[in-house]
Amino acid sequence: MTTKKNNNCVYKITCKETGHNFMSYTSNIEKAWARLRRVLRKGEHENPRFQGEWDKYGEACFGIEVVSNHSTKQAAQKKVQRLIDEDGLETCYQLSAKMKKENRELDIEMFEAQFGPCDISGIDYYPGWQQKLIRDNDLAGFKD
């Protein structure tokens, strides 16, 4: 791995045992890889599939590679999403844009089945979005 700063590079971390991968982008590949290893060693990565395979196979089973470099952050983001969409869950730890949309729709449907129709306009889909809806719609008393 080089020690220079890579502006807007797309990178892939691959488990050599399974072939599964994690893709993202960064302006500094060394810093990103060091931070990811630190989080994974602590067992705190937000992606349970990635964390689970790291725990099972160990750090030595993972390698990182730069896939491409881009002139802008937006171009790098688009490239990462395109690669994730192409790979799908068979090889990629992350969800494709289509699966994210389907999961969001299912989550909202299940939420509304429990609480009834709610105004979801302006609510970003992120961990904890349900709590924001409960708070904003004064549904706290109805929570199981």
> Can you give the pTM of this predicted structure?
0.64
Q: Give the amino acid at 73.
A: K
Q: Where are the domains of the chain?
A: 9-94, 98-142
Token reading at 78: 């688009």
The closest alpha carbon to 52, from 12, 103, 60, 44, belongs to: 44
3-state secondary structure 75-115: HHHHHHHHHHHHHCCCCECCCCHHHHHHHHHHHHHHHHHHH
- Return the C-alpha torsion angle 45, 56, 103, 114, nearest 10: -90
Encode the chain (144 residues) as per-residue pLDDT tens digits.
Answer: 443 455 899 999 999 999 999 998 999 999 999 999 999 999 988 888 888 999 999 999 999 999 999 999 889 988 988 888 787 767 887 754 455 555 566 566 666 676 677 666 555 544 455 555 556 655 544 443
Which homologous superfamily is 9-94 in? Answer: GIY-YIG endonuclease (3.40.1440.10)
